[in-house]
Homo-oligomer: A and B are copies of this chain.
Amino acid sequence: MNQARPRIVIVGAGFGGLWAAQHLADAEADVFLIDRNNYHSFLPLLYQVAAAEIEPGQIAYPVRAILRKLRNVEFVMAEVTGVDVQRQIVTLSDGELAYDYLILALGSRTHYFGVAGAAEYAFPLKTMAHAIILRNHILRCFELAIHEQDAEKRRQLLTFAIVGGGPTGVEYAGALSELIKRPLARDYPGIELDEVSVLLIEGTDRLLGALPDKLGDYTLERLQKMGVEVLLNTFVSGVSAETVQFSDGTTLATNTVVWTAGVQGETFAEKWELPMGPGGRVLVQSTCQVDGLERVYAIGDMMYLEQDDEPLPMLAPVATQQGTFVAQNIMRQLRGEAVMSFRYKDRGAMATIGRNAAVANISSRAFTGYFAWLVWLAIHLMNLIGFRNRLIVLINWAWNYLFYERVARFIFDATIDSDKTLG
């Protein structure tokens, strides 16, 4: 390795890190992209994996396949265990990597707000593994319920509580309701639909709080029509393997609490002695440089930056725009130029509710219904990486739509192993 060339290390191959790597392809530098997984996940469709609509591989893309064209970027599959900004070193589970410039793009994790039992018993939905585990669990609940004679236990197995009325909660509630209403109803003729409940629990008085009221109202009405029981102004105070407790003292029997109510920056940043902002996020300047550090950037969900007195949202477009932006800032530094300030271009936000129904807020105009749904489909399909993934997701969506089906109803569990479980 040419020691004269500066080394840029990027931690995380999500939207922020991957976009940064791609925009450093022309930099006079050696770039190292680190991730614990060998694939990039298209997280906006993660809830569809958890609802058996599509398969994991369809929203994943091998990082190395993306980097093949970039001659100066090397992939390192590893766990990052620490960052030492004094020595300019990233420590990995099996070694360390020195950097001249560092881009932290580790994303966010579920925030349980200290609710008792939530971290132990609730199902998060932030990673591919979470989605697979949740899908397997939902299908197992039905397999257990159909042979359960005790009506109460049966109802408990068939009660699905989703905590958090933001986009992920709304999208998963809609998707789960559609999975149950037709495909699972046909798979389990012995289960009556009125034994099954899908609940969406939100602490404030409306859904999709980040979007205009009109869209939240539409979403509420639509979900209710789909049979989702929406509880507004309702706080969860505890979760156990068999219940969810509310702050008003009532309790609901359920084996499934899905937690989409909060995200926070990866909490280890504190351990690494980086300046912390609200929500466990790393404080950055308008240049995306970490406060007090010239050569360390933080982008995406893990950084805290205000724009027009509002913190930037934890959304994919913020991460991709910042990834592209910090690549340019580092190239400016390499050329001895001054760094610039980031400005987020908000192109809007959207969420899908179900068949023919979505909400979108684009250029301050609010859309609902069929049109918004088509726009949602088109945008998500276009943004998937890889033509083949787009084609196969499209086939699966068409199949699901035309036949009221959910094609990926598999309990794939590598712990089910015929050589080990029998005999």
Q: Is the CB of A268 within 8 A of B422?
A: yes
Q: Is the CB of A36 within 8 A of B410?
A: no
Could you tell me the distance between the alpha carbons of A106 and B419 in the complex, rounded to whole angstroms?
12
Q: Nearest residue in B to A392 (C-beta to C-beta)?
A: B392
> Known interface pairs A110-B419, A410-B60. Does A143 touch B187 (Cβ–Cβ under 8 Å)?
no
Q: Is the CB of A418 within 8 A of B126?
A: yes
Q: Is the CB of A422 within 8 A of B65?
A: no
In the assembled complex, A411 has its CB within 8 A of some CB on chain B: yes
Residues of B within 8 A of A133 (CB): 414
Q: Nearest residue in B to A131 (C-beta to C-beta)?
A: B414
Q: Is the CB of B130 within 8 A of A422?
A: no
Q: Is the CB of B37 within 8 A of A423?
A: no
In the assembled complex, A109 has its CB within 8 A of some CB on chain B: yes
Q: Of A107, A271, A391, A412, which is in contact with the most chain B CB atoms at under 10 Å from its CB?
A: A412
Q: How far is the CB of A146 from chain B (nearest CB, A)?
A: 9
Q: How far is the CB of A107 from chain B (nearest CB, A)?
A: 8
Residues of B within 8 A of A139 (CB): 38
List which A119-167 residues lie within 8 A (CB) of chain B: 124, 126-130, 132-133, 139, 143, 147
Q: How far is the CB of A423 from chain B (nearest CB, A)?
A: 4
Residues of B within 8 A of A132 (CB): 412, 414
Q: Is the CB of A130 within 8 A of B423?
A: no
Residues of B within 8 A of A95 (CB): 147
In the assembled complex, A178 has its CB within 8 A of some CB on chain B: no
Could you tell me the distance between the alpha carbons of A408 and B55 in the complex, rounded to whole angstroms?
11
Q: Is the CB of A129 within 8 A of B395?
A: no
Q: How far is the CB of A398 from chain B (nearest CB, A)?
A: 9
Residues of B within 8 A of A291 (CB): none
Q: Is the CB of B388 within 8 A of A423?
A: no
Could you tell me the distance between the alpha carbons of A422 and B92 in the complex, rounded to whole angstroms?
11
In the assembled complex, A407 has its CB within 8 A of some CB on chain B: yes
Q: Is the CB of A396 within 8 A of B407?
A: no
In the assembled complex, A235 has its CB within 8 A of some CB on chain B: no
Q: How far is the CB of A119 from chain B (nearest CB, A)?
A: 8
> Known interface pairs A55-B57, A139-B38. Does A187 touch B62 (Cβ–Cβ under 8 Å)?
yes
> Known interface pairs A127-B419, A419-B130. Does A147 touch B76 (Cβ–Cβ under 8 Å)?
yes
Residues of B within 8 A of A388 (CB): 395-396, 399, 407
Q: How far is the CB of A18 from chain B (nearest CB, A)?
A: 16
Cβ contact of A416, chosen from B37, B106, B417, cutoff 8 A:
B37
Q: Is the CB of B64 within 8 A of A415?
A: no
Could you tell me the distance between the alpha carbons of A57 and B110 in the complex, rounded to whole angstroms?
28
Q: How far is the CB of A226 from chain B (nearest CB, A)?
A: 23
> Known interface pairs A130-B417, A411-B38. Does A79 touch B422 (Cβ–Cβ under 8 Å)?
yes
Residues of B within 8 A of A423 (CB): 109, 266-268, 271
In the assembled complex, A331 has its CB within 8 A of some CB on chain B: no
Q: Nearest residue in B to A268 (C-beta to C-beta)?
A: B423
> Known interface pairs A57-B55, A409-B62. Does A36 touch B128 (Cβ–Cβ under 8 Å)?
no
Scoring A residues 376 to 393 as 1 if CB is less than 8 Å from chain B, else 0, what string do you get?
A: 000000000000100110
Q: Please, could you name 14 A-B residue pairs with CB atoms under 8 Å apart, sorted by A?
A: A36-B422, A38-B143, A38-B411, A77-B143, A77-B411, A79-B422, A107-B418, A127-B416, A127-B417, A129-B413, A132-B412, A132-B414, A266-B423, A395-B395
**Shortest 6 CB-CB distances between A and B: which pairs?**
A64-B187, A55-B57, A77-B143, A268-B423, A62-B409, A127-B418
